[in-house]
Amino acid sequence: MGSEAVHDFNGKTVLITGAASGIGLGISRAFAQRGASVVATDINAEGLERQRGDYGQDALVQEMDAGSEDSILRVAALLKARSMNVDVLVNNAGLARLEALDALTEAAMDLQWKVLLRGPMLCVKYLSPLMVSQANASVINIASIAATIQARRHAVYCACKAGITKFTQDAVKEMPALRFNTIQPGFIDTPILEAYATGSELEAVKNDFASRTPVGRMGRVEDIADACLFLASDSATFINGATLKVDGGVTVANSLEFL
Ligand code: NAI
Protein backbone atom coordinates (compact mmCIF):
# COMPACT_ATOMS: atom_id res chain seq x y z
CA MET A 1 0.00 0.00 0.00
CA GLY A 2 1.40 3.43 -0.93
CA SER A 3 1.68 6.22 1.62
CA GLU A 4 -1.14 8.19 -0.05
CA ALA A 5 -3.51 5.29 0.69
CA VAL A 6 -2.23 4.83 4.25
CA HIS A 7 -2.63 8.53 4.89
CA ASP A 8 -6.17 8.81 3.65
CA PHE A 9 -8.27 10.82 6.09
CA ASN A 10 -11.48 10.95 4.07
CA GLY A 11 -14.43 10.92 6.44
CA LYS A 12 -12.25 11.90 9.42
CA THR A 13 -12.50 15.13 11.38
CA VAL A 14 -9.31 16.69 12.71
CA LEU A 15 -9.35 19.59 15.18
CA ILE A 16 -6.17 21.65 15.38
CA THR A 17 -5.45 24.42 17.89
CA GLY A 18 -3.22 27.29 16.79
CA ALA A 19 -4.12 26.59 13.15
CA ALA A 20 -3.57 30.13 11.84
CA SER A 21 0.23 30.08 11.70
CA GLY A 22 3.37 28.00 11.52
CA ILE A 23 3.20 24.35 12.53
CA GLY A 24 -0.58 24.35 13.14
CA LEU A 25 -1.19 25.78 9.68
CA GLY A 26 1.12 23.16 8.15
CA ILE A 27 -0.68 20.36 10.01
CA SER A 28 -4.08 21.71 8.92
CA ARG A 29 -3.01 21.85 5.27
CA ALA A 30 -1.61 18.33 5.37
CA PHE A 31 -4.79 16.80 6.78
CA ALA A 32 -7.03 18.83 4.45
CA GLN A 33 -4.98 17.69 1.43
CA ARG A 34 -5.60 14.08 2.46
CA GLY A 35 -9.34 14.40 2.66
CA ALA A 36 -9.94 15.25 6.33
CA SER A 37 -12.56 17.71 7.47
CA VAL A 38 -10.48 20.23 9.36
CA VAL A 39 -11.72 22.15 12.37
CA ALA A 40 -9.25 25.03 12.34
CA THR A 41 -9.14 26.93 15.63
CA ASP A 42 -6.98 29.80 16.82
CA ILE A 43 -7.21 32.84 19.09
CA ASN A 44 -6.30 34.92 16.04
CA ALA A 45 -9.56 35.20 14.07
CA GLU A 46 -8.00 37.41 11.39
CA GLY A 47 -5.21 34.91 10.83
CA LEU A 48 -7.75 32.10 10.46
CA GLU A 49 -9.69 34.16 7.94
CA ARG A 50 -6.51 34.89 5.95
CA GLN A 51 -5.71 31.18 5.71
CA ARG A 52 -9.29 29.97 5.13
CA GLY A 53 -8.37 28.60 1.68
CA ASP A 54 -5.81 26.23 3.26
CA TYR A 55 -8.24 24.36 5.46
CA GLY A 56 -10.25 22.61 2.73
CA GLN A 57 -13.75 23.10 1.41
CA ASP A 58 -15.68 21.52 4.24
CA ALA A 59 -13.57 23.04 7.01
CA LEU A 60 -15.05 24.60 10.11
CA VAL A 61 -13.04 27.72 10.90
CA GLN A 62 -13.60 28.76 14.49
CA GLU A 63 -12.01 31.32 16.81
CA MET A 64 -11.00 29.58 20.05
CA ASP A 65 -8.72 30.60 22.88
CA ALA A 66 -6.98 27.30 23.63
CA GLY A 67 -6.12 28.59 27.10
CA SER A 68 -9.68 29.35 28.11
CA GLU A 69 -12.12 26.82 29.51
CA ASP A 70 -15.14 28.89 28.37
CA SER A 71 -13.84 29.14 24.84
CA ILE A 72 -13.07 25.40 24.59
CA LEU A 73 -16.50 24.57 26.04
CA ARG A 74 -18.18 26.80 23.44
CA VAL A 75 -16.45 24.97 20.58
CA ALA A 76 -17.25 21.54 22.09
CA ALA A 77 -20.93 22.61 22.34
CA LEU A 78 -20.91 23.88 18.76
CA LEU A 79 -19.53 20.57 17.45
CA LYS A 80 -22.07 18.63 19.51
CA ALA A 81 -24.92 20.79 18.23
CA ARG A 82 -23.81 19.97 14.69
CA SER A 83 -23.55 16.25 15.55
CA MET A 84 -19.86 16.35 14.69
CA ASN A 85 -17.39 13.87 16.13
CA VAL A 86 -13.63 14.33 16.29
CA ASP A 87 -11.17 11.67 15.12
CA VAL A 88 -7.93 13.53 15.77
CA LEU A 89 -7.18 16.35 18.20
CA VAL A 90 -3.88 18.17 17.71
CA ASN A 91 -3.00 20.38 20.67
CA ASN A 92 -0.56 22.71 18.99
CA ALA A 93 -1.32 26.32 20.05
CA GLY A 94 1.66 27.98 21.64
CA LEU A 95 3.74 31.04 22.32
CA ALA A 96 7.14 31.83 23.71
CA ARG A 97 8.08 34.40 26.33
CA LEU A 98 11.70 34.95 27.27
CA GLU A 99 12.24 35.81 30.92
CA ALA A 100 15.17 35.30 33.23
CA LEU A 101 14.28 33.43 36.40
CA ASP A 102 14.86 36.45 38.59
CA ALA A 103 12.58 38.55 36.37
CA LEU A 104 9.64 36.16 36.11
CA THR A 105 6.25 37.81 36.21
CA GLU A 106 3.04 36.09 37.23
CA ALA A 107 1.32 37.39 34.09
CA ALA A 108 3.85 35.83 31.71
CA MET A 109 3.86 32.58 33.70
CA ASP A 110 0.06 32.36 33.62
CA LEU A 111 -0.09 33.16 29.91
CA GLN A 112 2.31 30.35 29.09
CA TRP A 113 0.96 27.62 31.29
CA LYS A 114 -2.64 28.36 30.35
CA VAL A 115 -1.92 27.87 26.66
CA LEU A 116 0.82 25.25 26.78
CA LEU A 117 -0.35 23.00 29.60
CA ARG A 118 -3.80 23.74 31.01
CA GLY A 119 -5.36 24.27 27.56
CA PRO A 120 -4.42 20.87 26.11
CA MET A 121 -5.68 19.19 29.29
CA LEU A 122 -9.02 21.01 29.00
CA CYS A 123 -9.24 20.21 25.29
CA VAL A 124 -8.85 16.54 26.16
CA LYS A 125 -11.47 16.84 28.90
CA TYR A 126 -14.10 18.56 26.76
CA LEU A 127 -13.40 17.12 23.29
CA SER A 128 -12.75 13.47 24.22
CA PRO A 129 -16.52 12.77 24.57
CA LEU A 130 -16.74 13.56 20.85
CA MET A 131 -13.84 11.19 20.10
CA VAL A 132 -14.40 7.98 22.06
CA SER A 133 -16.93 6.54 19.60
CA GLN A 134 -14.51 6.90 16.67
CA ALA A 135 -12.24 4.10 15.42
CA ASN A 136 -8.52 4.76 15.95
CA ALA A 137 -9.16 8.21 17.44
CA SER A 138 -6.10 9.91 18.83
CA VAL A 139 -4.69 12.99 20.51
CA ILE A 140 -1.36 14.43 19.41
CA ASN A 141 0.25 16.95 21.73
CA ILE A 142 2.89 19.24 20.25
CA ALA A 143 5.50 19.65 22.99
CA SER A 144 9.11 20.61 22.20
CA ILE A 145 12.67 19.42 22.63
CA ALA A 146 12.59 22.17 25.29
CA ALA A 147 11.06 19.44 27.49
CA THR A 148 14.52 17.88 27.79
CA ILE A 149 17.24 20.33 26.74
CA GLN A 150 18.68 23.29 28.64
CA ALA A 151 17.32 26.65 27.51
CA ARG A 152 18.17 29.90 29.24
CA ARG A 153 15.29 32.33 29.94
CA HIS A 154 12.84 29.57 29.00
CA ALA A 155 12.20 27.92 32.37
CA VAL A 156 8.41 28.29 32.28
CA TYR A 157 8.13 27.22 28.63
CA CYS A 158 10.39 24.22 29.24
CA ALA A 159 8.46 23.14 32.34
CA CYS A 160 5.18 23.34 30.41
CA LYS A 161 6.58 21.26 27.54
CA ALA A 162 7.90 18.64 29.98
CA GLY A 163 4.51 18.73 31.71
CA ILE A 164 2.49 18.15 28.58
CA THR A 165 4.79 15.27 27.62
CA LYS A 166 4.07 13.61 30.98
CA PHE A 167 0.34 14.38 30.80
CA THR A 168 0.21 12.59 27.44
CA GLN A 169 1.58 9.44 29.08
CA ASP A 170 -0.82 9.57 32.02
CA ALA A 171 -3.81 10.06 29.71
CA VAL A 172 -3.02 6.73 28.00
CA LYS A 173 -3.99 4.70 31.06
CA GLU A 174 -6.92 6.85 32.05
CA MET A 175 -8.57 7.02 28.61
CA PRO A 176 -7.90 3.71 26.86
CA ALA A 177 -10.49 4.47 24.17
CA LEU A 178 -8.06 6.98 22.66
CA ARG A 179 -4.39 6.91 21.67
CA PHE A 180 -2.19 9.72 22.97
CA ASN A 181 1.20 10.65 21.56
CA THR A 182 3.62 13.55 21.91
CA ILE A 183 5.72 15.18 19.22
CA GLN A 184 8.77 17.12 20.39
CA PRO A 185 9.82 19.35 17.48
CA GLY A 186 13.34 20.72 17.23
CA PHE A 187 14.12 24.09 15.63
CA ILE A 188 11.29 24.74 13.15
CA ASP A 189 11.20 27.81 10.92
CA THR A 190 7.98 29.60 11.96
CA PRO A 191 6.92 33.08 13.13
CA ILE A 192 7.32 32.02 16.79
CA LEU A 193 11.04 32.72 16.34
CA GLU A 194 10.27 36.43 16.11
CA ALA A 195 10.00 36.29 19.92
CA TYR A 196 13.78 35.84 19.91
CA ALA A 197 15.03 38.30 17.30
CA THR A 198 14.14 40.22 14.15
CA GLY A 199 15.80 41.14 10.84
CA SER A 200 19.42 40.13 10.36
CA GLU A 201 19.64 39.01 13.99
CA LEU A 202 16.84 36.52 13.32
CA GLU A 203 18.71 35.26 10.25
CA ALA A 204 21.78 34.70 12.44
CA VAL A 205 19.66 32.78 14.98
CA LYS A 206 18.26 30.58 12.20
CA ASN A 207 21.74 29.93 10.77
CA ASP A 208 22.93 28.95 14.22
CA PHE A 209 19.96 26.58 14.67
CA ALA A 210 20.64 25.00 11.26
CA SER A 211 24.36 24.58 11.90
CA ARG A 212 23.73 22.82 15.21
CA THR A 213 21.26 20.39 13.61
CA PRO A 214 23.01 17.30 12.18
CA VAL A 215 20.80 17.13 9.07
CA GLY A 216 22.12 20.61 8.23
CA ARG A 217 18.92 22.61 8.13
CA MET A 218 16.14 23.90 10.33
CA GLY A 219 12.91 21.94 10.41
CA ARG A 220 9.99 22.81 8.15
CA VAL A 221 6.36 22.76 9.24
CA GLU A 222 5.89 19.85 6.80
CA ASP A 223 8.33 17.77 8.87
CA ILE A 224 5.98 18.03 11.86
CA ALA A 225 2.85 17.63 9.72
CA ASP A 226 4.22 14.37 8.25
CA ALA A 227 4.80 13.01 11.76
CA CYS A 228 1.22 13.94 12.70
CA LEU A 229 -0.19 12.22 9.61
CA PHE A 230 1.67 9.05 10.54
CA LEU A 231 0.71 9.09 14.24
CA ALA A 232 -2.95 9.68 13.36
CA SER A 233 -3.03 7.06 10.60
CA ASP A 234 -4.02 3.41 10.52
CA SER A 235 -0.28 2.61 10.35
CA ALA A 236 0.09 3.75 13.95
CA THR A 237 -2.71 1.93 15.78
CA PHE A 238 -0.18 0.30 18.15
CA ILE A 239 1.69 3.52 18.90
CA ASN A 240 0.33 4.88 22.15
CA GLY A 241 2.06 6.95 24.82
CA ALA A 242 5.05 7.58 22.58
CA THR A 243 7.23 10.67 22.48
CA LEU A 244 8.57 11.32 19.00
CA LYS A 245 11.40 13.79 18.61
CA VAL A 246 11.28 15.40 15.17
CA ASP A 247 14.42 17.46 15.47
CA GLY A 248 16.93 16.47 12.78
CA GLY A 249 19.07 14.87 15.49
CA VAL A 250 19.83 18.09 17.35
CA THR A 251 18.99 16.72 20.80
CA VAL A 252 21.22 13.65 20.73
CA ALA A 253 24.00 15.47 18.89
CA ASN A 254 24.21 18.13 21.58
CA SER A 255 24.00 15.89 24.65
CA LEU A 256 26.89 15.26 27.04
CA GLU A 257 29.89 13.66 25.37
CA PHE A 258 32.15 11.12 27.11
CA LEU A 259 35.00 11.26 24.62
P1 NAI B 1 3.47 30.23 15.61
O2 NAI B 1 3.65 31.46 16.42
O3 NAI B 1 3.79 30.28 14.16
O4 NAI B 1 1.97 29.69 15.76
C5 NAI B 1 1.36 29.58 17.00
C6 NAI B 1 -0.14 29.72 16.81
O7 NAI B 1 -0.76 29.54 18.09
C8 NAI B 1 -0.53 31.13 16.31
O9 NAI B 1 -1.44 31.04 15.23
C10 NAI B 1 -1.18 31.76 17.53
O11 NAI B 1 -2.20 32.71 17.21
C12 NAI B 1 -1.76 30.54 18.21
N13 NAI B 1 -2.07 30.79 19.62
C14 NAI B 1 -1.32 31.45 20.55
N15 NAI B 1 -2.01 31.53 21.70
C16 NAI B 1 -3.20 30.91 21.50
C17 NAI B 1 -4.33 30.66 22.30
N18 NAI B 1 -4.42 31.11 23.56
N19 NAI B 1 -5.37 29.99 21.76
C20 NAI B 1 -5.34 29.57 20.47
N21 NAI B 1 -4.30 29.79 19.65
C22 NAI B 1 -3.24 30.45 20.16
O23 NAI B 1 4.34 29.11 16.35
P24 NAI B 1 4.73 27.61 15.95
O25 NAI B 1 6.20 27.55 15.88
O26 NAI B 1 3.93 27.16 14.82
O27 NAI B 1 4.30 26.85 17.28
C28 NAI B 1 3.32 25.82 17.31
C29 NAI B 1 3.64 24.89 18.47
O30 NAI B 1 4.88 24.24 18.23
C31 NAI B 1 3.76 25.59 19.81
O32 NAI B 1 3.16 24.80 20.82
C33 NAI B 1 5.26 25.66 20.01
O34 NAI B 1 5.59 25.73 21.37
C35 NAI B 1 5.69 24.35 19.37
N36 NAI B 1 7.09 24.30 19.00
C37 NAI B 1 7.62 25.15 18.06
C38 NAI B 1 8.95 25.05 17.72
C39 NAI B 1 9.60 25.92 16.69
O40 NAI B 1 10.84 25.92 16.60
N41 NAI B 1 8.84 26.68 15.90
C42 NAI B 1 9.85 24.07 18.38
C43 NAI B 1 9.18 23.22 19.32
C44 NAI B 1 7.86 23.35 19.61
**Looking at the predicted structure, is the pLDDT value of residue 31 above 50?**
yes
Tell me the C-alpha distance between 250 and 185, whole Å. 10
Q: What is the pLDDT of residues 209-220, one digit of tens each?
A: 999 999 999 999
CA angle 201, 206, 210 (to 5 degrees): 150
What is the whole-number distance in angstroms between the Cα of residue 3 and the centre of ligand 1? 28
Would you say residue 3 has pLDDT above 80?
Answer: no
Query: The sheet that has 88-91: what strands, in order across it?
Result: 60-63, 37-42, 13-17, 88-91, 138-142, 179-185, 243-246
Q: How far is CA 175 from the centre of its chain?
A: 20
* Whole-Å CA distances, 253 to 16, 66, 84, 128: 31, 34, 44, 37
- Whether the pLDDT of residue 6 is over 80: the answer is no
Atom number of ligand 1 nearest to Cα 209:
40
Mean per-residue pLDDT over the chain, rounded: 96
Share of the chain above pLDDT 70, in %: 98
- Would you say the C-alpha torsion 246, 230, 39, 118 has a positive or negative sign? negative
Q: Supply the pTM of this predicted model.
A: 0.97
Backbone angles phi and psi of 99, in degrees to 5: -150, 130
- Residue 49 to residue 61: CA distance in whole angstroms: 8
Largest CA distance in the chain: 61
| pLDDT digit string, tens, across residues 216-247 | 999 999 999 999 999 999 999 999 999 999 99
Q: What is the pLDDT of residue 157?
A: 96
Ligand 1: residues whose CB is within 6 Å?
A: 17-18, 20-24, 42-44, 47, 65-67, 92-95, 115, 142, 144, 185, 187-188, 190-192
What type of residue is 48?
L
* Position 24 confidence tier, pLDDT thresholds 50, 70, 90: very high
Enter the DSSP assignment of 194. Answer: G
39-92 pLDDT, tens per residue? Answer: 999 999 999 999 999 999 999 999 999 999 999 999 999 999 999 999 999 999
Residue 8 backbone zone (phi > 0: left; psi -120 to 50: alpha; other: beta):
beta
pLDDT at 4 over 70: no
* CA distances for 73 relative to 33, 65, 124, 168, 233, angstroms: 28, 10, 11, 21, 27
Residue 2 confidence class, pLDDT cut points 50, 70, 90: very low
